[in-house]
Amino acid sequence: MRQRARFLRNTAVGGAALTLVLTLSACGGGGSDSAGGDDGRIHVLVYGDSANKVEKRIIATFNKTSEVKAVLDTIPGADYQAKLQTIINSEQAPDVFFNWGGGSIRPFVDAGLLMPLDDFIAKDPDLKDKFLPTVFESAEVDGKPYGIPMRGTQPVLLFHNKKVLKETGVEPPKTWDDMLAAVGKLKAKGVTPIALGGGDKWPTLMWFEYLYDRVAGPGLLQKALAGDKDVWASADSRKALGMIRELADAGAFGTHYDSVKFTDQGSPTLLATGKAGFELMGSWEYATQQESHPKFAERDLGHSAFPAVDGGKGDPADLVGNTNNFYSVLKKTKHPEAVAEFLKLQYSEESVKAQLAIGNVPTTTDTEKHLDAAADPDFARSQLKMVEKAPAFQLSWDQAYPQTATVGMHQAVQQFLNGGLDEDGFIKAMQALPTS
Amino acid sequence: MTTRSGTGVSRPGFVWAAPAAVFFGLFALLPLVLVVVLSFAEWNGLSSPRFSGLGNWQRLFDDPVMLKSLWLSVLLTVLGVVVQSPLSILLGVWAAGHQRNRAVLSAIYFVPLLLSAAAVSVLWRAVLDPNFGVPAHAEWLVGDGNLFGTQSSAIGVLAFVSAWQFTPLHTLIHQGAARAVPQVLYQAAQIDGAGKVRQFFHITLPQLRNSIITSMILMVVGGLTTFDTVLILTQGGPGTDTTISAYYMYQKAFKNFDYGTASAIGVLLVLVATVISLIVVRLSGYDRMRSTMEGL
């Protein structure tokens, strides 16, 4: 009995000591040999998805000639922003990372973590000149460039089911009146006029982004972002809200859009199966349909620009969406020269062609030359033309605003559309959003 | 002191508790202290935390969403207890018996317990899709299927999914307790001419008292810390209509990167949960641990 007790006691003490040792060594290990510390390589952190194969390839190309090697680290999509925020000021911070420009990097700039790219551009002007200016500018913060475009542009377009529209005798709408008429006809035929993944909330936001642009012009959001809260209560703002209400009241989105999501294939399937006529969505709708409904994507998936609004201040060629993805550089990188060389590869022919092949449309000035390499040259050409011609390309509001505004903004648009908030309530909610 | 000299068996020293104490200290107490400290600071995870006094607390008390989230947490917890308790007691008592097919049916019934809450939520999200799930074929039951689009139906879905997943756990607890009820009590009741229903209310239920309290405390704690089902099923929506406190804390921390306010919500949750648990323990007499075997 005694012996057993002593044995147990020894085990317990040993266990406690072991626990301590393990904990301490875990802490120690974190500092010395983890990913981002200086291990003589540059770490490139990207959003983990199917486009990673191109990034892997570019890094392989880079490593062939560079003395300082690069490594690709990925974080699965949904967690990207949260994880980035937690590691960016730690030992594990990458040297170069993927982002959406605008508000998505502003907090990092404000915290003094990012390197302005002026010096890189002074040494190699192509880093700026090889990209479309409207796109390049959306990663400028306080007039300084912080991002080099990578991957492709993702404008929001009005997609439609050609077959459904044809059967109903509806043309892709050119004006807002066309849109309302189309909604009436589709509804009369028993089809949900517009598929909307309201459960995700950001698809709802797209309608606000476009109507505000068409009615008030791109200036309204710029002013709002600069801290002018009065614009939300302006006559233009109220007019845009009235039009959204009119559309919803006409039954354009059906009745259960808040229970539908884009991210679980809900709304795209509605469009592909002919249960809905239109869907306003980023250009990734094409890739989504190609993967889950390849026949529909090939034959019946059409797209057009968002309709014009009579008497509105916005140019009908204006776009909203994700202008592009960007690579930004951390100030504390130990290998700025190697990073500059790596960034140059983003406008290389190899990179442009590889992106096109997986359906992305890079925004370099010579993308057009390589369009034949695209997965669908017609769709790529149409997108590129729209982006080149757009007088203004508004970055999605939830990316243009600081991250801290996202939840409030998403709740406001969802509640306005479903009637939980009235005009004044929505205006108040938007005015309450932080802009810096 | 008498025990030491009297029986010769010494009470275990502190060393025995050391491993658990170290774990508890490192992973529960230390973080708790840090969270309390953080609740008085502003921190976005990038720059160093900045002390802001009662700023976070002040804002929380003026925040209508915070108050609403507490009510929603309590509502969901109460719904959980009200729905799951009767179901699990009945099922547990039934499963404790010796009927035909009982073992097979019980085994099937325990399957939800084996699935993770995340998997269960993803599954139900798909089953309840208005266009491609059950609601598309059950208009008589759920109307247009906008289950995630109104507050009442979204709360209903959350309560239902939690019940679907956790009733088996509580059934298990009651089954064990019901098996332990001495048969002599039933035999005596039978001699006195009590029927099945009377036996249930006068013998089984009183005998299950301790297991009912145990399961209730589990339900209260589980209800107040529910998070995964809300994250996957409703994301706190529509609007803020299902934003319970635990989810609001997550939103503040990992969507708004406002770790100070999130910490304050965390502290508040700890306080509320502690108070509620104490009340339950007091009211139920759990702390006195009265035996159900007195007189036997």
B23 interfaces chain A, CB cutoff of 8 Å = yes
Q: Are A316 and A305 in contact (CB under 8 A)?
A: yes
- Chain B CB contacts of A19 under 8 Å are 19, 22-23
Query: How is residue A403 annotated by DSSP?
Result: G
pLDDT digits (tens, 9 = 90+) for A363-419: 999 888 888 888 888 889 999 999 989 999 999 998 889 888 888 999 999 999 999
Question: Which region holds residue A132: left if phi is over 0, alpha if psi is between -120 and 50, else beta?
Answer: beta
Answer whether residue A271 is part of any domain.
Answer: yes
Query: Given CA atoms B254, B256, B259, B265 in this order, what sign does their dihedral have?
Result: negative
- Chain A CB contacts of B131 under 8 Å are 256, 260, 266, 269-270, 275
The shortest C-alpha distance from A401 to chain B (Å) reads: 12
pLDDT digits (tens, 9 = 90+) for A266-281: 999 999 999 999 999 9
Q: Determine whether the interchain pair B258/A259 forms a contact, defined as Cβ–Cβ distance below 8 Å.
A: no
Task: Give the CATH number, domain containing residue A178.
Answer: 3.40.190.10
Q: Which range scores top for mean pLDDT: A47-51, A161-165, B222-226?
A: A161-165
Confidence label for B36 from pLDDT (cuts 50, 70 and 90)? very high
What long-range pairs does B282-290 form, CB within 8 A, spacing at least 24?
B284/B213, B284/B216, B286/B210, B286/B213, B286/B214, B286/B217, B289/B210
**Between A75 and B286, whose confidence is greater?**
A75
Is A69 in a helix, a strand, or coil? strand
- The answer to whether residues A415 and A389 belong to one domain is no
Question: Which region holds residue A190: left if phi is over 0, alpha if psi is between -120 and 50, else beta?
Answer: left
Q: Quick check: B180 pLDDT over 50?
A: yes
Superfamily for the B52-286 domain: MetI-like (1.10.3720.10)
- Chain B CB contacts of A203 under 8 Å are none
Radius of gyration of chain B (CA): 24
pLDDT digits (tens, 9 = 90+) for A188-223: 999 999 999 999 999 999 999 999 999 999 999 999
Answer whether residue A1 is part of any domain.
Answer: no
Three-state SS string over chain B comes to CHHHHHHCCCCCCHHHHHHHHHHHHHHHHHHHHHHHHHCCEECCCCCCCEECCCHHHHHHHCCHHHHHHHHHHHHHHHHHHHHHHHHHHHHHHHHCCCCCCHHHHHHHHCHHHHCCHHHHHHHHHHHCCCCCCHHHHCHHHHCCCCCCCCHHHHHHHHHHHHHHHHHHHHHHHHHHHHHCCCHHHHHHHHHCCCCHHHHHHHHHHHHCHHHHHHHHHHHHHHHHCCCHHHHHHCCCCCCCCCCCHHHHHHHHHHHCCCHHHHHHHHHHHHHHHHHHHHHHHHHHCHHHCCCCCCCC
Q: Quick check: B22 pLDDT over 70?
A: yes
CB contacts < 8 A, A to B, total: 110
Q: Determine whether the interchain pair B146/A407 forms a contact, defined as Cβ–Cβ distance below 8 Å.
A: no
Confidence label for B286 from pLDDT (cuts 50, 70 and 90)? low
Least reliable range by pLDDT among A144-148, B40-44, B97-101? B97-101
Determine the average pLDDT of the residues in B185-213.
89
Q: Are B110 and B192 in contact (CB under 8 A)?
A: no
At residue A18, the pLDDT reads 43
User: Given B44, B145, B235, which is nearest A256 (Cβ)?
Assistant: B145
Predicted complex ipTM exceeds 0.85: no
Q: Quick check: A31 pLDDT over 60?
A: no
The CA distance from B15 to B85, in Å, is 40
- Chain B CB contacts of A414 under 8 Å are 237-239
- Chain A CB contacts of B249 under 8 Å are none
**Torsions phi, psi for A174 (to 5 deg):** -95, -30
- Chain B CB contacts of A248 under 8 Å are none
Strand partners, A326: A99, A149
Determine the average pLDDT of the residues in B222-227.
87
Quote the domain boundaries for residue A146.
41-153+324-394
- Chain B CB contacts of A106 under 8 Å are none
At residue B289, the pLDDT reads 61
Residue with tokens 């004044």: A424
All structural domains of chain B with their residue ranges = 52-286
**Between B296 and A310, whose confidence is greater?**
A310
B210 interfaces chain A, CB cutoff of 8 Å = no
What is this structure's pTM? 0.84
B25 interfaces chain A, CB cutoff of 8 Å = no
- Chain A CB contacts of B47 under 8 Å are 89, 111
Q: Quick check: A11 pLDDT over 70?
A: no
The shortest C-alpha distance from A428 to chain B (Å) reads: 14
At residue A1, the pLDDT reads 41
User: Given A86, A201, A407, which is nearest B45 (Cβ)?
Assistant: A86
- The answer to whether residues A142 and A245 belong to one domain is no
At residue B49, the pLDDT reads 85
Answer whether residue A15 is part of any domain.
Answer: no
Residues 6+ apart with CB under 8 A from B109: B91, B95, B168, B171
- The answer to whether residues A272 and A417 belong to one domain is yes
Answer whether residue A14 is part of any domain.
Answer: no
At residue A306, the pLDDT reads 96
The CA distance from A207 to A244, in Å, is 8
Q: Are A387 and A153 in contact (CB under 8 A)?
A: yes
Confidence label for B105 from pLDDT (cuts 50, 70 and 90)? confident
Q: Are B163 and B87 in contact (CB under 8 A)?
A: yes
pLDDT digits (tens, 9 = 90+) for A167-191: 999 999 999 999 999 999 999 999 9
Task: Please provide the average confidence, as pLDDT, over all residues in chain B.
Answer: 87
Q: Quick check: A30 pLDDT over 70?
A: no
- The answer to whether residues A172 and A316 belong to one domain is yes
pLDDT digits (tens, 9 = 90+) for A105-129: 988 998 899 999 999 999 999 999 9
The shortest C-alpha distance from B58 to chain A (Å) reads: 17
Residues 6+ apart with CB under 8 A from B123: B115
Answer whether residue A12 is part of any domain.
Answer: no
Task: Please provide the average confidence, as pLDDT, over all residues in chain A.
Answer: 87
Strands A154-161 and A140-141: unpaired
pLDDT digits (tens, 9 = 90+) for A139-164: 999 889 999 999 989 999 999 999 99
Helix, strand counts (H, E) of chain A = 21, 13
- Chain B CB contacts of A199 under 8 Å are 148, 235, 237
**Between B282 and A315, whose confidence is greater?**
A315
**Between A134 and A349, whose confidence is greater?**
A349
At residue A48, the pLDDT reads 86
**Between A216 and A5, whose confidence is greater?**
A216
Q: Determine whether the interchain pair A85/B23 forms a contact, defined as Cβ–Cβ distance below 8 Å.
A: no
**Between B2 and B210, whose confidence is greater?**
B210
At residue A25, the pLDDT reads 39
Mutate to test the interface with B, among A8, A27, A256, A263 (most CBs of B within 10 A): A256
Q: Quick check: A247 pLDDT over 90?
A: yes
The CA distance from A302 to A86, in Å, is 41
**Torsions phi, psi for A79 (to 5 deg):** -95, 0
Residues 6+ apart with CB under 8 A from B34: none
The CA distance from A81 to B253, in Å, is 12
User: Given A9, A198, A256, which is nearest B144 (Cβ)?
Assistant: A256
- Could you tell me which chain B residue has the CA closest to the CA of A402? B256
Q: Determine whether the interchain pair B15/A9 forms a contact, defined as Cβ–Cβ distance below 8 Å.
A: yes
User: Given A16, A107, A420, which is nearest B44 (Cβ)?
Assistant: A107
At residue B287, the pLDDT reads 66
**Between B102 and A60, whose confidence is greater?**
A60
Tokens of B272: 């509320």
Q: How many structural domains does chain A have? A: 2
Q: Quick check: A228 pLDDT over 60?
A: yes
How far, in Å, are B94, B105, B113, B243 from residue B100 at the CA level?
11, 9, 23, 45
Answer whether residue A27 is part of any domain.
Answer: no
Q: Which residues of A touch B (CB under 8 A)?
A: 8-9, 12-13, 15-16, 19-20, 23, 82, 85-86, 88-89, 107-108, 111, 113, 198-199, 201, 254-260, 264, 266, 269-270, 275, 403-404, 406-407, 411, 414-415, 418, 420-421
- The answer to whether residues A387 and A288 belong to one domain is no
